[in-house]
């Protein structure tokens, strides 16, 4: 019998070797396979094949193909405003002699960055609210590896995709005249924050919903079994460190679901603290001012989960009011810019 059963020492060594092998395999899967967990672009099933079009919802649109700097084709949707659509907020008064192009240029442009599941087609009803109710131009971004876009998703890739979309707007003969608002849900919020931090002078405002401080800090909650390996997460999306790079004069609306089962509301609260710090008192010409905080707002929805916060009562009213309030902000920004240009011209003339 003693020759049949392995010794305790042999058993222990075998167990240790097996554990080490499984641990190494597990760590390898976590490190190299995390993109499949973070960017489940094929979920729900069919998301890489079946992509709804705005026309399915009776919305006019342009099928837009954007080529990125690393030669990836993104297939997005552009919904430019139209004078004759006949709906929207009552405050919009369209002069009869205003051309279609002038009307488009007079309205804000919303860049939509969706969450990590599904495709842009699933978010068309949300785009419709921006388009119909708020009369915004809407650019629905489709990340690489999502929907019908080429490539595979990654943090580096999505950052390039977002910049490609912004460059399209800022180089467009009509859209470049419009205020640009970034709307991001979940990981889309991280994409929006990153883009704004790298283009502080081009972004007018941000609307952020249920996003996180960073992916490594989210792992222990979203994937508890992988919590001990959070340090291996190479997809950082470190929004907490990028918020301070966004000017305090850039308005930000933060919308949090108190019952979010994926991103704990504490993440949004930490980001809100970072946003609020942009409004700390600063001395300007000898006087103290609270800069920026009055242009930021945080709202928490008691019954909001990760995927249904946008259906909660008061959500879209808050977004609509926020966007309507940007008109005075844009006019002030244009006045300051004009004043600065005049001062610069005067200085050059005096020289």
Could you report the per-residue pLDDT of 133-164, keeping only the tens digit for each?
Answer: 999 999 999 999 999 999 999 999 999 999 99
Q: In the predicted model, what is the mean pLDDT of residues 88-114?
A: 87
Lowest mean pLDDT among 27-31, 232-236, 300-304, 310-314: 27-31
**Dihedral (C-alpha) 175, 242, 185, 301: value to the nearest 10 degrees?**
-120
What pLDDT is attached to residue 350? 34
- Does the pLDDT at position 120 exceed 90? yes
Residues belonging to the active site: 186, 260, 306
Contacts of 206 (CB under 8 A, 6+ apart): 181, 182, 183, 184, 192, 193, 196, 246, 250, 251, 252, 253
- Does the pLDDT at position 86 exceed 90? no
pLDDT classification of 193: cutoffs 50, 70, 90: very high
What pLDDT is attached to residue 238? 98
- In the chain, what are the domains? 8-283+292-339 (3.40.50.1820)
**Residue from 329, 186, 204, 175 nearest 262 by CA:** 186
What pLDDT is attached to residue 138? 98
Q: Which of 180-184, 229-233, 293-297 has the highest mean pLDDT?
A: 180-184
Lowest mean pLDDT among 55-64, 220-229, 243-252, 333-342: 333-342
pLDDT classification of 23: cutoffs 50, 70, 90: very low
Could you report the per-residue pLDDT of 268-297, keeping only the tens digit for each?
Answer: 999 999 999 886 655 555 555 555 556 899
- Mean pLDDT computed over every residue of the chain: 84
């Amino acid at each position: 019998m003693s020759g049949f059963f392995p010794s305790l020492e042999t058993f222990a060594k075998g167990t240790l070797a097996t554990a080490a092998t499984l641990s190494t395999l597990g760590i390898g899967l976590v490190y190299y396979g995390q993109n499949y967990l973070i960017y489940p672009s094929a979920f729900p099933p069919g998301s890489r094949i079946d992509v709804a079009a705005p026309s399915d919802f009776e919305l006019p649109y342009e099928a837009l193909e954007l080529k990125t700097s690393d030669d990836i084709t993104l297939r997005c949707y552009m919904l430019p405003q139209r004078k004759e659509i006949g709906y929207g907020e009552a405050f919009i008064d369209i002069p009869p002699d205003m051309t279609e192009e002038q009307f488009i240029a007079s309205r804000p442009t919303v860049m939509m960055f969706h969450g990590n599941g599904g495709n842009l087609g699933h978010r068309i009803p949300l785009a419709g609210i921006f388009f119909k109710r708020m009369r915004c131009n809407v650019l629905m971004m489709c990340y690489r590896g999502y929907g019908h876009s080429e490539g595979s998703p990654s943090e580096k890739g999505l950052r390039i995709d977002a910049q490609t979309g912004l460059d399209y707007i800022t180089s467009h003969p009509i859209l470049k005249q419009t205020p640009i608002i970034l709307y991001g849900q979940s990981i889309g919020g991280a994409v929006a924050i990153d883009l704004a931090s790298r283009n502080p002078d081009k972004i007018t405002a941000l609307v952020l919903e249920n996003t996180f401080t960073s992916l490594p800090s989210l792992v222990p909650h979203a994937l508890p079994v992988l919590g001990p390996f959070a340090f291996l997460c190479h997809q950082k999306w470190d929004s907490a460190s990028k918020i301070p790079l966004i000017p305090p004069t850039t308005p930000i609306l933060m919308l949090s679901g108190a019952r979010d089962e994926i991103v704990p509301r504490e993440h949004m609260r930490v980001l809100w603290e970072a946003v609020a710090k942009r409004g700390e008192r600063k001395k300007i010409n000898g006087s103290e001012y609270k800069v920026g905080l009055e242009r930021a707002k945080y709202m928490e929805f008691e019954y909001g989960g990760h995927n249904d916060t946008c259906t909660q009562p008061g959500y879209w009213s808050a977004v609509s009011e926020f966007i309507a309030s940007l008109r005075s902000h844009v006019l002030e920004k244009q006045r300051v810019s004009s004043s600065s240009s005049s001062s610069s011209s005067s200085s050059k003339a005096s020289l």
